[in-house]
Amino acid sequence: MKIAIIGSPGSGKSTLALKLHKILHIPLFHIDQYFWKPGWQRPDRQEFAKIHDQLCDAPEWIMEGMATRHFEYRLQKADVIIFLDTPLYVCLYRIFKRAFFNFGKVFFSSAPGCVERWPDHEFLKYVWNFNKKQKPEVMALLEKYKNDKKIFVVKNQRDLDELVKNFK
């Protein structure tokens, strides 16, 4: 089984992926661990594309993250697509909570050498504009694959609890 989990930063992708990993016992890949270099340095785009596609070609996985330029390939390879359509205010709350409680530490889903820091303007702008810029692209891809993939759009905690329960 291949499960792609996508959504805005702060939507709960990493947490859900870890829960499903513990239930299903299949490999878990956090995209950030393969994308970022130590100190939050951006990778060579071609190098990352190659790594991303190799991960997607594995026989089974749970993969969480966006990497927007590459997620269509991931969705093509996935059997299950989970879109966490979390409200902006929840995402922002979680982002600031994570930064506050984990400041200076490497979060479990982050790349080695990428310590938590206070969210910068560029990152907050991405989150703020996610529903205007990335969500339409996500929704178009979900529509494209709706007949070929098992797709879940999670809008609230009740949806999330039900989804996790179904995987158990």
Residue 44 has a pLDDT of: 86
Residue 42 has a pLDDT of: 86
pLDDT band at residue 11, thresholds of 50, 70 and 90? Answer: very high
> What digits encode the pLDDT tens for the residues 48-84?
889 999 999 999 999 999 877 788 899 999 999 999 9
Distance CA 25, CA 39 (A): 31
Strands 80-84, 28-30: parallel, antiparallel or unpaired by DSSP?
A: unpaired
Residue 25 has a pLDDT of: 96
Distance CA 13, CA 112 (A): 19
Full set of structural domains in the chain with CATH: 2-167 (3.40.50.300)
